[in-house]
Structure formats: C-alpha cells, structure tokens
Structure 1
Amino acid sequence: MLIFKQLFFGLLLPAIAGSGIFILAKSFAAKRSRDQTEERNGLSSGWLFSAALSVGYIVGYIGLEGLPPFPPREGVHWLCYLALIGLILGVFWHFSLWGRLISQIVISIVVPRLLLGSMFKYSWGQVEGIIWWVCIAVTIFIFWQIAQESFAILPSGAWSPFVYFGLSGGTALILAVSGSLRLAQHAGILVALFAAIWIITLVAQSDDKVPIFPIGASAVIALALTGIWMNGYFYEEVPTASAALLLISLFLTPVGRIRAIQRLGARRSTFVQIAVIALPVVIAIGIAVVLSGLFGENRNY
C-alpha cells in the first residue's frame, strides 16, 4: 500500500494535475496567438505554465508529506512554499523588468536563510555563515538567470521539457543512491511533471519555433530545483562533486550557439547541445553510485 501511495500521489496524480493545466495553458496560448487583444490589454496567460508546474508539485508534495506546517520546521517543508512563491511570481513576471530583477535578488537572498536556518544556527559561525549565505544567494540568482535564458537557448519544441526531465531524473537518482529516498521522491515529482509535459509536446507536435515555457516558469523551476539541491547537499549525503555537476549542467546550454557547432546543421547541433548538457548529469550519477558503496566498500566524501 505504501508503494502504491508513493506512485499514485508522488508521480501519477501530480502528472495528471500538471499536464491538465499545461494543456489548458497551451490552448490559451494558441488562442492568444490568433487574437492579440489579450496582449494589448496587458494580460497574459503565460502564468498558467507556471501553474502547471507549481500546482503539480504542490499536489505531489501534499500527497507525500501532507499539508506543510507553518512555520516550516525542516528545510523540506519549505519546498511546498517555494512552489507557491514561484506561482505568484509567474503571474506577475511579465509586468516589469525591474520588478523581476528585484524579486530575483530578494528571493535569492532570503531562500538560503529560510532553508538552512539550522545550519546558520548550529553549524556555522557568524563569518562562515555570511560567506555561505553570499555564495549560495549568488549561485541561486545566476542559476535562475540561466534557467530563464534556457527557454530561448535550448532547442524549441519538446527538447526543453526533455532537458529538465533529465536534470530532475538525475537529481532523483543521485538522492536515491545517496540514501535520501524522501528527497528523491520530491525530485520524482518534477520528473513526472516534465515527463508528462514532454509527452504532451511530442504528441501535440508544437511549433518548433515557439519555446514551450514562458520566462515566468523559470521561477518555479529554479526554486524547486535549488530547494531540493540545498536540502540534499546540506542535510543529506549527496557528494559535493555530484551536486556541483548538477548545478553546472544547465550552464552549458549556450554551447548550442557556438558557431562551430551551429555549422553541423540544426539536427546535429541539437544533439550535441543536449549531449553536452547531459554529460555532467551522467557523471554526477556515476560519482554518486560509486561513492554510495553499491559496488563495494563505501567511501567518505
């Protein structure tokens, strides 16, 4: 019964909820492309794409953990609230460039303090805590920017959800072999969401020139992934090398804009770009498996 509950509430139900909203978002986006009245009125249906990811994750979170306590007592409890914050940001993301930038800076600063409160209180001294705080905040901000830009840099069509499906899947595998099955299930929610969106995009045969996700969806993706990664690295036993490789994988998306790769042609350059992004994730999984002791004596890391 426990396995059925985990599969249904942690994978199937989030995928159903998220994909349902995603289909609705695509239908509104198609209507908007035919009728520009919505855009002239300053309204946008792009927030529905954020809602697909946010609501899907929240459904999965509640299915696995129940309603999150407030105030949260653990770093994991913040993951649900981060998804909600991502949804709120996605609604207003298109209104102001400066508003987006200020929101990213503020949230990048606040999130480490919220998720890692016990580390600041019990493990780090004042100076060490400030150094960690600054480094993590800068990393979150930069990763958020990369995630936002990736929607335009990655090949259009089904490739964008496929990349995040692979990144989430790699995260889930690394957490699982590192002994954090609880966090692996949370990463599994993202795997189910991106898998469902990827399949829908393939079946729907979307316009290859139009990005699947609007930039507002970057808030949900960036906050969900960084939240899971921080919990895994600071509170569990995820290897440092694996965590670093997961983080830098998305930083390699601009490789597709290198002229030498573009000369290969659209199809080959796409495969090269995806392979370059996937390589750090595959290496990260391999490192986690080796250090987990599955194939012999466990090692310290």
Structure 2
Amino acid sequence: MLLTGVVIPGIVALALALFFWPARKPGRKPGRLPHWMGGVVLAVTFLTGWILTRGWPDWPVRESAAWLPWLAVGGAVLGWLVAHQRLPGPTVAMLRMLVSVVTIWATTQSLQTHTWQKAAWLWIIGLALVLFAAWSIWESVLAKRQGVLPPLLLTGFFSCLAIMALLGRTATVSQTTGILCAGLGAFFVVSLVRRDLDLSQSTLFVAMPLLAGLVVNAHFYAYMDVLQTMLLMACCLAVLLAVRFTPEEPQFAGLLLALLITVLPALGGIAWDLLNSNVQTSSSEEEDPYAEYF
C-alpha cells in the first residue's frame, strides 16, 4: 500500500511539478510561473493515489469518504478560476466561504440525518467557519512567502493528521492523507531547485476541502478524539508564529524551527494519545491476583 498510496503519487506529483516549474539556469530572469497549476497538480496526484488504492470514484456518492476525490476535482477547477481570472479579494473570500459550507454539508450528510437532525445547520455553519478561518490563515502564509517554507509546513501539517488518524484507528483516512502528503512533499522537493516556487491560492482550493473531509471522517466517523482534533487545528494558529519568526530566506535550522513550531500542538496530541494507549495497555495486562482462586 505504501507503493500505490505514497510512492507512485509522489513520483507523479514530482514529475508534473518539475515539468511546470523547471529549474532556472543561473543568470536567467525568472519566467512567468503557471500559478494556477498548483491545484491541478495536487488534484491529479490525489486522484492517482485514490484510484490505485480504492478504485474509481463512486457516483452517486454513498459515504462521506467517497466525496474526497470529487472535492479534489472541484477544488482544482475553482483554483484554476481564481488564479487564472485574478478575482478580487472579497470575491475570493466569498468563494472560500461557499466552498467551506458545501464541503461540510457534503461530508456530514449521515450525521445530519441520524445525529444532528434539527441542529444540523448550526453544526454545518460552525464547522464551515472553522474551515474558513484555517483556510484564511494558510492563504495569508502563502501570500507572504514563497519557495521552500510553505510546502514544508503544509507537508508537516498533513503528516500530523495522517499520524493522528492512524492512532485513531482509521487507517483508511491515514493512507488517504498520505497521498496528499506525497503531493505536497513533491512541491517541497521542487522548491529546493526552484526557490521562487509560488503555490498560490489554487493549491489551497484543493488542500483545504480535503483537509475538512479527512478531519470529519477521522473525528466523527472514527476515533480521533476532540482534544487531538483541536490540537491539530491549533497548528493553523501556530503557523502564523512560525512564519513571523522565520527570515525571508531561512537556512536549514530556520526551516526546522518553523516546522517544529507549526506542528508542536499536533505533536502534543500524538504524545498524549500514545501515553494514554500505553497506560491502558499496561492496565489491561495486569494479572488478577485472585485468578488462581476461581
């Protein structure tokens, strides 16, 4: 599963990214970069991994996770529109809010019917606002920085989600998140040779709806608890601190520090889960001192 879920999608993403963002020879002026291609490359990478691991996307959709490939396709189209047409800021913000609402609505339909019921729209709006806030934070990071830092931080963030999902006993979500990590990791590799790599808004129009779908599946349909989910989303606030204290052209130590600051809340959640699981395992393995009498 590692080959089909991570290695092959990563190779596809790397090949496409190197094609669209080739290394620039020393002394040459920077050419115009296809900013809208970030979302397309990430969506193609995700679809490649999805088809290899789970088959062709279902239609009509019958479960929450089955929305993920369609979210990637829709996000790529909207990302192309936003980047290619140069839409004004307020229009883009309204579009992000609309996508946030649609994403939460689509991925929580069974919850709306069986759990939330009359309070469904309160949940949808509340979760959509959380997604919108996280999306806005990451967009501000991508607007301020280009090159190595944004893909590194995004890869670290989604890697923490993959680990948390695995600890939450949902290997499917963890594996699916790994596909996304492979694509973002390829962007990071390309940024090492193309330091002016700019992911732009189009990448987030794919990554953020997928983030919402993956977190919804890991938390509401599996066993990623509230504390872990909150700590994961706290990384979106930590990234602001990381960017603030990172120089414009960071060296290795600066990149490592920025990554550590960004994922520190999630690492705390992972450590907490591992500690609790070890305690529960130890208590379950204790022998009953009275067992020999029965």
Give how far 1:183 is off.
0.8
Structure 2 letter corresponding to 1:188: G
Deviation at 1:144, TM superposition (A): 1.3
Alignment partner for residue 173 of structure 1, among 142, 154, 163?
163
- AA partner of residue 79 (structure 1): L
Indicate the residue corresponding to 2:61 in structure 1: 72
What CA distance in whole angstroms lies between the structure 2 residues aligned with 1:70 and 1:145?
A: 31
Superposition pairs of residues 140-289 of structure 1, within 5 angstroms: 140-153=131-144, 156-202=146-192, 204=193, 206-207=194-195, 210-256=196-242, 261=245, 271-289=256-274
Which has the larger displacement, 189-198 or 222-231?
Answer: 189-198
Partner residue in 2 for 1:290: 275
Specify which of 20, 24, 35 is matched with residue 19 of structure 2: 24
Partner amino acid for 2:268? Answer: I
- CA deviation vs aligned residue, 1:172-220 (integer Å, no higher than 9, x gap): 1111121101111101111222223222322x1x33xx35311221111
Paired AA for residue 99 in structure 2: I
How far apart are the structure 1 equivalents of 2:141 and 2:107?
A: 26
Matched position secondary structure for 1:125: helix
The code of the aligned residue for 1:253 comes to V
Question: How has the CA–CA distance of structure 1 residues 262 and 212 changed in structure 2, closer, same or farther, with 3 Å as cutoff?
Answer: closer
TM-score with structure 1 length normalisation?
0.82
**Which has the larger Rg?**
2
Partner of 2:51: 62
Q: In the alignment, residue 230 of structure 1 is paired with which amino acid?
A: V
Equivalent position of 1:40 in the other structure = none
CA contact (8 A) 1:14 1:56 kept: yes
Tell me, in whole angstroms, the C-alpha distance in 2 between the residues paired with 1:88 and 1:240.
33
* Cα distance in 2 between the residues matched to 1:245 and 1:213: 25
- With normalisation by structure 2, the TM-score equals 0.84
Matched, 1:105 2:90: no
Partner Cα separation in structure 1 for residue 162 and residue 31 of structure 2:
41
Q: Residues 51 and 298 (structure 1 numbering): CA distance in 2 closer, same or farther, change over 3 Å?
A: farther
How many Å apart are 1:291 and its aligned residue? 3.9
Q: Which has the higher contact order (CA 8 A, sep 6+)?
A: 2
- Provide the residue aligned with 1:41 in structure 2: none
Per the alignment, residue 287 of structure 2 pairs with none
Aligned mates of 1:17, 1:294 — CA distance in 2:
42
Return closer, same or farther for 1:233/1:74 CA change in 2, 3 Å cut-off: same
| Cα pair distance change 1:266/1:11, threshold 3 Å | closer
Deviation at 1:298, TM superposition (A): 8.4
Alpha-carbon deviation of 1:256? 4.4
Q: How does 1:120-131 map to 2 (within 5 A)?
A: 120-127=112-119, 129-131=120-122
Distance (whole Å) between structure 1 residues aligned to residue 283 and residue 45 of structure 2? 36
**What residue ranges of structure 1 are gaps of 5+ in the alignment?**
1-5, 37-43
Give the share of equivalent positions with the same residue, in percent: 20
Q: Which runs of at least 4 in structure 1 moved beyond 6 Å after TM superposition?
A: none
Moved more, 73-82 or 11-20: 11-20
Tell me which residue corresponds to 2:291: none
Displacement of 1:123 in angstroms is: 0.8
Shift of 1:253: 2.1
Q: Per the alignment, in what secondary structure is the counterpart of residue 77 of structure 1?
A: helix
Structure 1 residue 275, shift from structure 2 partner: 2.4
Contact 1:25 1:46 in 2 (8 A): no
Structure 1: how far apart are the matches of 2:274 and 2:12?
A: 32
Task: Read off the aligned partner of 1:19 and give its amino acid letter.
Answer: L
Q: 1:297 offset after TM fit, Å?
A: 5.5
Displacement after TM superposition at 1:284 (Å): 1.9
2:163 is matched by which residue type in structure 1?
Answer: L
Work out the number of aligned pairs and report it: 277
What amino acid does structure 1 have at the position aligned with 2:185?
A
